[in-house]
Amino acid sequence: MTAEIYRDAWGIPHLRADGVRELARAQGRVTALDRAWQLEVERHRAQGTSASFLGAGALPWDLLARRARLDDTARRCFDALDSETADWVRAYVDGVNEGLAEGARRAPEFARAGVSAAPRRGAGSIDMRLRRAGASSHDGAAADRRPVPATSAERMAPGRWEPWTPLAVWLAVHILFAGFPAKLWREQVVRHLGEDAVGLFAADGPGTSGSNGWLVSGGRTTTGAAVIAGDPHRFIEDPGIYQQIHLSCPEFDVVGLAVPGVPGIAHFGHTGTVAWAITNAMADYHDLYRERLRRTGAGVEALGPDGNWTRAPMHTEVIEVAGEEPVRVEVIETERGPVIIGGPEGLDDGTLEAVSLRYPPRIAGDLGFDALLPLLRARRVDDVDRAFDRWAEPVNVVLAADTEGGLLHRVAGKVPLRDTANRTRLVPAWEPGHEWQGWHEMPYGELTDGTAVMANQRGPSTPLGVEFAPPHRADRITALLGEKKEWAAGDMSAIHMDTRLGSAAPLLDHLAALDDLTPEAAALRDRLLGWDRRMDAGSTEAAVFAAVRAAVVRHLAEHPAFAALAVPPAYPEVFLPWLALVPRIGFALEHLLRAEELYGIDRPATVRAAVEEVAAEPPGSWGESHRLAPWRALPDTSYDEPGLSGDHDCVLCTSAVPGVTDLAARGPAARYVWDLARREDSRWVVPFGAWGMPGSAHHRDQLPLWTRGDLVPVVTDFDRLTRETDV
């Protein structure tokens, strides 16, 4: 059996093979050719060995990966796959291993990866890669890592992928999507401010990866067939987290966005007769347990809810760190799950505490990979629905439509049934009542006026979650869709790029009530009150608003009422971003400004001080400071990244961290428009390009389009493609 690689004008791989297994092998091989460096970074992160070549800045992540047992969990999940899926994944891995050596020769990073890194330690040295999975550093800066050029003996060589490595990559990418570190923050808020304060800080921030997605039924389109569009929001990486790809064999022909290192197309796909897309459901499905541990002559024991001490398996692993001594880590697992914080001796500050993580893939041995082949084979929404019945991690809201008028709006994944306290805070492992009692039935949603909009707001997944995104993006998309009776696929980019800021009102209301301002501050206030509330890159008013907002955030964070929250507990470094006060205030600012009372803080005086401060040195345009700041494993490659429109609560969700930085590390990791009338009228784009090799023709060729809001045509006719090679 053979497979062929074709390319379109943007270097996007189009693969055609005689069979499913050969197609999977070709997908693995072409991904290794185009993304070898990215694949190796992902493999190392999944197995907790990234500090061996990235240095001590990557150590916090490696410690979490080892303690949470990500690689071992992936093995369990692989062993539980049905035989056809397991063979298909093996074929993909075979292709990766076949292509890695050649891909590594094309990727200059391998020659620079034998680093002797000397990172600045402390909260600010948290690897920016964690920002993708849900973090924002205390000071908004990346680690100060300046890799030393490798000697020939230190040059990094690609390793070998195991059959379960794609599952480990998937798990590492998504382990923090459930946002369980937010429970650590809630504990701090309750401890220092009380239960009522939790709601004040309940807002979607950079700790959650979200998305926009919308479905317009055939009754609301110019063609009479449905359109699905949207954009997944993640921390922007170079190379990108999504890979545009076309997979064709006698059983199916699918275009979509794949995750490099994972076979098939999980999140966004179009088979020609049915298309689907997802957003983060904002469900809560990972639990944290306080553990009481003790050492014995035989090892470690944990106190359980039955009052008995039970053996907790323990072993020690060694993490290699480039330029530093190896680090030993104890890996302990109780009956609840792996211990990710502390141990029998407690924390570094003397607190006698350990915390274990209970997460569905570890308990059920299932990531949902048995859904991937059925998705590729889907012909109608009923097929997509049945496929997503097998889904596990992460929990998503799904939209789907087919060429016969079928529509689907549902939640997919595994969410445990358990006590409400598990969903909000850390719970004591030694008290009964916090056990898991099975799995939730996944809810379904409905269309309203022929449309469905999902933007991480409360919706069909409401019973499964605790905190959701503010409704601004969803409300704005709904309003825009209501402005026209009929929509075409080509109209959707205008929605992608909408910049109206729905969260501006509370601060503007405070500004409107101010008096006794200096003339300069009064003029600045009047400019903002006449502003159209659009965060356009060329807008000076948008920049002024952002500057005033940032100053308000900083002033609030400095108030004595929040002083106790400014000092995080002695948790592992990887969790500190969730406990950083300034970003928490920045993304909860609406609530804090609208609260009836705020711990005696004089908010009008705070806003007055902020506007006077900005009036003394007003900024330029929003795009001058709001620039793209992608994550790179080796951050010493310099690019002049573009200034961006948008902001966190705009449909064009290019997130800065108010009070910390205007740089945008998070935003649309791809955009797509799936047309069910004619797949050839579908469109897509990614932030950089289809290839991961710096300096190559298709490394950054889509960036100007992505910045402007333009989309690349989806080409599926092999006669219009350039044949590259057989594999």
Q: How far apart are CA 464 and CA 473, in angstroms?
A: 20
Evaluate if residue 490 carries a pLDDT over 50.
Answer: yes
Q: In terms of residues, how long is the chain? A: 727
Gap between the Cα atoms of 706 and 536, Å rounded: 15
Largest interatomic CA distance in the chain: 80
Going from the C-alpha of 529 to that of each of 363, 535, 559, 609, 615, the distances in angstroms are 53, 14, 27, 17, 15
Residue pair 490/229 in contact (Cβ under 8 Å)? The answer is no
Beta strands 287-291; 268-270: pairing state: unpaired
* Least confident stretch, 90-99, 140-149, 311-320, 514-523: 140-149
pLDDT exceeds cutoff 50 at 131: no
Task: Tell me the percentage of the chain whose pLDDT exceeds 90.
Answer: 87
Question: Which residues have a Cβ under 8 Å from the Cβ of 515 and sit 6 or more positions away?
Answer: none
CA–CA–CA angle 389, 182, 196 (5° rounding): 115
Q: Evaluate if residue 243 carries a pLDDT over 80.
A: yes
Q: What is the CATH number of domain 211-284+379-413+436-496?
A: 3.60.20.10
d(CA 412, CA 390): 8
pLDDT single digits (tens) 341-389? 999 998 776 677 899 999 999 999 999 999 999 999 999 999 999 999 9
- The position carrying tokens 């400019």 is 527
Q: Is the pLDDT of residue 151 over 80?
A: no
**640 CB-contact burial (10 Å; exposed 0-12 / middle 13-18 / buried 19+):** exposed
Beta-carbon count within 10 A of 604 CB: 13
Q: Which pLDDT score is estimated for 153?
A: 41
Res 199: pLDDT: 87
Tell me what the mean pLDDT of segment 602-613 comes to.
Answer: 98
Residues in CB range of 325: below 8 A, 6 or more apart: none
Of the options 3.30.420.40, 1.10.1400.10, 1.20.120.160, 1.20.210.10, the CATH number for the domain spanning 182-206+499-664 = 1.10.1400.10
Q: Is residue 164 predicted with pLDDT exceeding 50? A: yes
What's the confidence (pLDDT) of residue 154?
54
Nearest to 17 by CA among 96, 78, 91, 114: 91
Q: Exposure of 661 by Cβ count < 10 A (0-12 exposed, 13-18 middle, 19+ buried)?
A: buried
Three-state SS string across 201-253, please?
Answer: CCCCCCCCCCEEEEEECHHHECCCCCEEEEEEEEECECCCCCEEEEEEECCEE
Amino acid letter for position 722: T
Distance from C-alpha of 50 to C-alpha of 141, rounded to nearest angstrom? 20
Find the range with the poorest average confidence among 143-152, 630-639, 706-715.
Answer: 143-152
pLDDT tens-digit series, residues 521-577: 999 999 999 999 999 999 999 999 999 999 999 999 999 999 999 998 889 999 999
Q: pLDDT digit string (tens) for 401-439? A: 999 999 999 999 999 999 999 999 999 999 999 999 999
Residue pair 285/360 in contact (Cβ under 8 Å)? The answer is: yes
Q: With the CA atoms of 649, 651, 657 and 659 taken in that order, what torsion angle do they form, in degrees rounded to the nearest 10?
A: -50
SS3 11: coil
Mean pLDDT of 498-520: 96
Place 142 in a pLDDT band, splitting at 50, 70 and 90: very low
Mean pLDDT of the chain: 92
The string of DSSP letters for 675-719 reads: ESS-GGG-EEE-SS-S--STTSTTSSTTHHHHHHT--EEP---GG
- Domain ranges for the chain: 182-206+499-664, 211-284+379-413+436-496
Omega within 30 of 0 (cis) for the link into 569 = no
Number of Cβ within 10 Å of residue 78's Cβ equals 22
Given this model, what pLDDT does residue 119 score?
A: 32
Beta strands at 287-291 and 427-428: parallel, antiparallel or unpaired: parallel
Could you read off the pLDDT of 665-695 as tens digits, one per residue? Answer: 999 999 999 999 999 999 999 999 999 999 9
| Those residues with Cβ within 8 angstroms of residue 429's Cβ, 6 or more apart along the chain or in another chain | 289, 290, 291, 292, 302, 303, 304, 305, 334, 336, 356
Q: Best-predicted range by mean pLDDT among 102-111, 172-181, 347-356, 373-382? A: 373-382
